[in-house]
């Protein structure tokens, strides 16, 4: 992707011009184009780390700022962008421009609502935060030239500032009652102490310096290695030590005991906002809870049918215990788990042209989840490719505690995280032509995660799940997402305890207790996000069924998928309008 702006000066200049451009005195299309360009420039200038990932390298020597005044200023500027949008005559725009208008307006509105609830005062969780993200820096930045490496070292030296700003932010959060639940921080120490090193060359952040490009002269290599080691020894390790002391002495002892978001200041309204934001639907926590219970009941019936097919001598509980206890269902080594995963994805790659008219050019790879976060994180996750086309997407597999990673889940999990799931969708989104840049990186979770869960089900059409145990694994993964609707709303809105949520999932899913506890803690620390998966998948399946019924033999699965993915990630009501318009067009063409 080419650079969108030629310098940091131009980025700031565009933003400063924004208030002077009056949407009511220029043509609606031009006014919209101005707001889109200036808000995108502002986002890049405010987040150098995001800019790097998006392929814009003007600020590769800086990290993001996290002072309270930064959050206030960003909200004020974005409120100005929203005000300008509201003055534009939406009806005078073309259909494609109206969609850009609607999506930017939604982004800004959701972001301002998030700011009003002060969630930024809780910047860490059991599986995320600046201290967990920073060691991944080498995976997201260019490191091929002397300038690249000098920028990287400058970012190492900037980490001390960031750490102090985050500590200040969390102190403010503690003072006003905005802290994460203490229970989800159990075992937090490893994510910090791993990076407090006596020998800087043993730091994960020194790894890029161990093998430098041959194009860099030896004296320069020596200088860069010394500079990186000094930055780690003088700034990075001491910053992690300061953060460790703060967490141990101040933050963790003062974290709240209540697990639900409802316990936060204005917490019930905050959670209702989160439900609307993550589902992209005008729905309530109670409605989501009931939908989850219905899905759990349906999926449980399908699981029972598989058990009957296997002629297992025992009930559901006994079968689940069999899956948890029998070593036959678990890899013996990390290599075995990774090999099984790679084989599934190689088979999946060969099936994609049957289901999609358009496929991404960007490749993907497989990596192990880093050891310092593996015990507290989920079974797998995906990291999207860089915006400059120089970094592949990566599917991260958790090889910690192998007796908790059932091989019967590998097919469904891999199809979700890589292809035809997250990699296919997100890489395609970044490669779409004609979209404003902000839409290439839009993150409507209900669409993204709904597609990932829908992709698991596509495995039935791709020749997977022929083994009944693997099909049970697929249903297990679907049950896991249905349970989320129940336990997330239960804990954050209906007063459920952590143990109540764990018990519900243990009774309805063959997931290991280790995984279930890690997952429940994830939901506690990220209110509402877990609702997106099943909500989005149900909508995509509903739209496909509707299109199949309307078009009959004329239904083309490749065309349907291209329509679903052709606008990038969008709210579910927008997706519905897109599919309905396609179906109507196909019916008109047929009659013509």
d(C-alpha 328, C-alpha 280), whole Å: 41
Distances (CA, A) of 561 to 111, 166, 539, 556: 29, 42, 14, 9
The alpha carbon of residue 481 and the mean position of all alpha carbons in its chain are separated, in whole angstroms, by 15
Residues constituting the chain: 592
d(C-alpha 185, C-alpha 168), whole Å: 19
How buried is 297 (Cβ within 10 angstroms: 0-12 exposed, 13-18 middle, 19+ buried)?
Answer: exposed
- Which of 377, 591, 202, 355 minimizes the C-alpha distance to 583? 591
pLDDT < 70 positions in the chain: 1-25, 590-592
What's the mean pLDDT when you consider all of the chain? 93
Spell out the alpha helix ranges (H) of 352-467. 410-417, 422-431, 437-440, 445-458
Instruction: Name the 3-class secondary structure at 81.
Output: helix
This prediction's pTM: 0.91
Per-residue model confidence (pLDDT) at position 2:
38
- Which of 226, 67, 222 minimizes the C-alpha distance to 156? 226
Per-residue model confidence (pLDDT) at position 374:
87
d(C-alpha 91, C-alpha 411), whole Å: 47
- Which of 404, 400, 402, 342 minimizes the C-alpha distance to 371? 400
d(C-alpha 424, C-alpha 415), whole Å: 10
Per-residue model confidence (pLDDT) at position 25:
62
CB atoms within 10 A of CB 325: 11
d(C-alpha 455, C-alpha 470), whole Å: 15
Structure tokens at 348: 């999946």
d(C-alpha 100, C-alpha 106), whole Å: 10
Per-residue model confidence (pLDDT) at position 372:
82
d(C-alpha 37, C-alpha 73), whole Å: 19
Q: Are 179 and 247 in contact (CB under 8 A)?
A: no
């Amino acid at each position: 992707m080419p650079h969108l702006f030629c310098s940091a000066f131009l980025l700031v200049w565009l933003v400063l011009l924004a208030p002077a451009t009056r949407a009511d005195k220029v043509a609606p299309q031009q006014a919209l184009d101005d707001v889109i360009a200036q808000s995108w420039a502002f986002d890049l200038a405010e987040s150098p780390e995001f800019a790097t990932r998006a392929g814009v390298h003007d600020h590769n020597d800086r990290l993001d700022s996290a002072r309270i005044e930064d959050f206030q200023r960003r909200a004020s500027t974005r409120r100005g962008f929203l005000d300008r949008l509201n003055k534009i005559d939406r009806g005078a725009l073309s259909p494609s421009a109206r969609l850009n208008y609607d999506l930017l307006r939604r982004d800004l509105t959701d972001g301002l609502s998030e700011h009003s609830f002060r969630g930024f005062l809780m910047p860490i969780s059991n599986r995320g935060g600046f201290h967990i993200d920073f060691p991944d820096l080498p995976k997201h930045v260019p490191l091929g030239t002397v300038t690249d490496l000098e920028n990287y070292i400058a970012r190492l030296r900037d980490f001390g500032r960031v750490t102090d700003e985050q500590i200040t932010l969390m102190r403010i959060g503690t003072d006003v009652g905005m802290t994460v639940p203490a229970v989800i921080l159990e075992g937090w120490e490893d994510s910090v102490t791993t990076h407090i090193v006596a020998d800087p060359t043993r730091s994960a952040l020194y790894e890029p310096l161990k093998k430098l490009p041959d194009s860099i002269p030896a004296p320069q290599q020596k200088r860069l290695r010394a500079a990186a080691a000094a930055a780690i020894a003088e700034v990075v390790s001491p910053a992690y030590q300061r953060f460790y002391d703060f967490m141990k002495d101040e933050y963790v002892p003062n974290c709240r005991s209540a697990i639900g978001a409802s316990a936060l200041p204005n917490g019930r309204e905050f959670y209702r906002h989160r439900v609307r934001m993550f589902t992209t639907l005008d729905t309530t926590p109670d409605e989501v809870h009931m939908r989850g219970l219905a899905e759990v009941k349906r999926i449980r019936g399908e699981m029972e049918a598989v058990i009957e097919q296997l002629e297992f001598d025992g009930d559901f509980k006994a079968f689940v215990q069999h899956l948890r206890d029998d070593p036959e269902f678990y890899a013996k080594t990390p290599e075995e788990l990774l090999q099984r995963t790679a084989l599934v994805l190689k088979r999946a790659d060969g099936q994609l042209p049957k289901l999609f008219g358009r496929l991404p050019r960007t490749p993907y790879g497989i990596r192990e989840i880093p050891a310092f976060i593996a015990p507290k994180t989920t079974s797998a996750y995906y990291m999207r490719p860089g915006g400059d086309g120089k970094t592949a997407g990566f599917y991260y597999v958790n090889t910690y505690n192998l007796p908790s990673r059932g091989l019967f889940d590998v097919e469904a999990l891999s199809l979700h995280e890589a292809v035809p799931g997250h990699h296919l969708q997100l890489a395609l989104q970044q490669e779409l032509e004609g979209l404003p840049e902000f839409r290439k990186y839009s993150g409507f979770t209900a669409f993204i995660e709904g597609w990932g869960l829908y992709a698991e089900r596509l495995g039935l059409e791709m020749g997977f799940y022929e083994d009944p145990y693997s099909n049970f694994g697929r249903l297990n993964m679907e049950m896991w997402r249905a349970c989320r609707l129940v336990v997330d709303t239960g804990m954050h809105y209906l007063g459920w305890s952590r143990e109540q949520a764990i018990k519900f999932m243990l009774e309805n899913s063959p997931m290991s207790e280790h995984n279930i506890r890690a997952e429940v803690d994830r939901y506690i620390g990220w209110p509402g996000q877990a609702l997106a998966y099943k909500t989005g998948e149900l909508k995509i399946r509903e739209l496909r069924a509707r299109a199949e019924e309307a078009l009959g033999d004329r239904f083309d699965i490749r065309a349907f998928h291209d329509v679903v993915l052709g606008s990038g990630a969008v709210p579910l009501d927008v997706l519905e309008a897109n599919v309905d318009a396609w179906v109507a067009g196909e019916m008109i063409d047929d009659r013509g």
